[in-house]
Structure 1
Amino acid sequence: MTDLNEPQRLSDYAVGIFIHTSSRKGIKKAIKKGLVFINDKRSYTGDFLKGKEKIDLYGELTDHQRIKPDIDIDIVYKDPFLAIINKPPGIVVSGNKARTLSHFVSYILEPSKEKDALPVPCSVHRLDYPTSGLVIFARTIKAMHGLNDLFSTRKIKKTYYAITIGDLREFGMIDNMLNGKKAVSHVELVSSVKSERFGQLNLCRLFPVTGRRHQLRIHMAELDTPILGDLKYGKKGLLLKGKGLYLMAQNLDFIHPITGKPIEVSLPITKKFKKIFPEFQE
């Protein structure tokens, strides 16, 4: 039975309450397949709960596997409620493929011993396939809800580093629409160097306020300074192949949803960044 102080969308409330289908994507898929019922009636993604409803999941929709990693996966931070993982480039966070970060993390990170432990850790946000850096995984149902609330209210501060191509003179706040939704990023120029091939390369700190798909990559391309190695949004003739995308999620700063303590986790700048900006000190 649900216990709510105010109405809440079913697809938000149901995240983490079922053993085999704990992710937001899995819940939405189960609802669309007609597997989730409210008070013995089929539910829909737009349904709102008011409290005291009975929610049932019929059938099994398993959206997690445990697969031994074929690359190094680093656990940067871990406690009984959540973990923060350093995602390598060239892998998706989650999805229908076997080779995902979620499946690898499920293999290397044991279930929490908390009473509301999820059967496997569940990612609460994503990074693009070519982007490296920090990803948060929930380990308990309560942490899953708390982290989702922090993201939806924009209380998790994210810092990215990128190397971009071109003359970056305009920096500050970018505020526009992407696919009909508001998209806001802050850009901070750290350093620039001349490049025989690219003219100028810029080391930037990027702070996404919203979290739209490919937001930072699109925003930098709109400034006419695309991210180095971006094969999708880069300029023809200035595409760097074989080195990957020069974009990393370097820092996360938030209040722990369970303990209430401040959490700040950072990664060192990767070697390929240092090769272009060797004098940069974090």
Structure 2
Amino acid sequence: MSVPTKSALKKVLKKKYVEVDGAIATTATYIIGGERITLSIPNETDSSKKLIFPLNVLFEDEHLAILHKPAGILVSGNSFKTMADALPQNLKPSALIDTTKPQPVHRLDYATTGVLLTGKTGSAIRKLNQLFQDKKVQKVYYAVTIGEMPPHGKITTPIDNKIAESHFEVIQSVASEKYATLNLVKLDPKTGRRHQLRKHLASISNPILGDQTYGREGFILKGKGLYLHAYSLEFIHPFTEEKISIKDDLPERFTKIFGSI
């Protein structure tokens, strides 16, 4: 058993799950070398606390898994209903020595659908996080936006005083009685700021359909969610060195407007 991240290490120390030479360790415990370090995490025995929420697994091996995230569920957090809590009930435990509870390695908003990458071992979680930090994971999103748009472009509006960059390409536009024009837009975010695509599209007066936070007043679509979908992920597998390219088809509510792509 391993502790994949610094935050996870702090949690197990706080819960007194770590001993150094038989004594309970804290964040102040100093390690010289040669000590016997023991990690003892109690097994969960109360099945009523397990989140039974069936998920569509798009790819899985001993190291990692890619799943479809539905709308209306958090990726992680203090809520009981999260993707993180549903993962152990949907994935096969890794047989590798550093197996751990599966953990998402990036974020998708509560209302966003699409591909979510998770690690199943401590080493996989660390390496996948590094791939994201090094910008070696190519992500493609699709959104439905409101209003006339140029055929393609780049948005560089800073977010929270930080550099942010998103590229867009209009794939198809249709006339709409309520919104005048609706666009199917392919999005390539070069940075990963919180709500980046939603904020960027709103900044050029083309908010995403169904965006109740950044949408235009009087044009809020209620009851059908946010029309933002994480369509694909592409990266080099950090252990097998194979090229992984996974797509998650557009939701039906997209294809009802534009047809299949």
- TM-score, normalization: structure 1? 0.79
**Conserved? CA contact 2:18–2:40, under 8 Å:** no
- What amino acid sits opposite 1:199 in the alignment? A
Measured on the aligned residues, the alpha-carbon RMSD in Å equals 3.1
- What is the number of residues matched between the two proteins? 253
Answer yes or no: is the 8 Å Cα contact 1:36–1:42 preserved in 2: no
> Which residue in 2 is equivalent to 1:42?
27
The residue that corresponds to 1:186 in the other structure is 167
2:122 to 101, 122, 141: 141
Question: What pairs up with 1:147-166 in 2 under 5 angstroms?
Answer: 147-166=128-147
Q: 2:50 aligns with which of 63, 66, 70?
A: 66
Kept after mapping to 1: 8 A contact 2:10/2:27: no
1:113 to 2:98 alignment: no
- CA drift of 1:141 comes to 1.4
Higher relative contact order (CA 8 A, sep 6+): 2
**SS at 1:193 equivalent:** strand
Shift of 1:26: 3.8
Partner in structure 2 of residue 11 of structure 1: none
- Consecutive unaligned residues of structure 1, counting only runs of 5 or more, are 1-15, 44-50
Question: Does residue 76 in structure 1 map to residue 58 in structure 2?
Answer: yes
CA contact (8 A) 1:34 1:42 kept: no
Secondary structure, aligned partner of 1:182: coil
Q: How far did residue 124 of structure 1 move? A: 0.6
In terms of mean alpha carbon deviation, does 83-92 or 52-61 score higher? 52-61
Distance 1:52 1:188 in 2: 55
Structure 2 equivalent of residue 12 of structure 1: none
Aligned to 2:240: 259
Contact 1:89-1:132 at 8 Å conserved across structures = yes
Matched, 1:132 2:113: yes
Q: Percent identical across equivalent pairs?
A: 40
1:248 aligned onto 2:229? yes
Q: Structure 1 stretches (4+) deviating beyond 3 angstroms?
A: 22-38, 40-43, 51-62
Q: Tell me the CA shift for residue 233 of structure 1.
A: 0.4
Aligned equivalent of 1:204, options 164, 167, 185 = 185
Query: Does the aligned pair in 2 maintain the 1:67–1:103 contact within 8 Å?
Result: yes
Summarize deviations over 1:131-187 as a string: whole Å, max 9, x none: 001111101111111101100000000000100001112732212321122111111
Q: CA deviation at 1:110?
A: 2.8
In structure 1, the residue matched to 2:154 is 173
Runs of at least 5 residues in structure 2 that lack an aligned partner in the other structure: 44-48
* 8 Å CA contact retained: 1:36, 1:55: no
Q: Distance in 2 between matches of 1:175 and 1:190?
A: 21
CA contact (8 A) 1:170 1:223 kept: no
User: In structure 1, what residue type is equivalent to 2:160?
Assistant: N
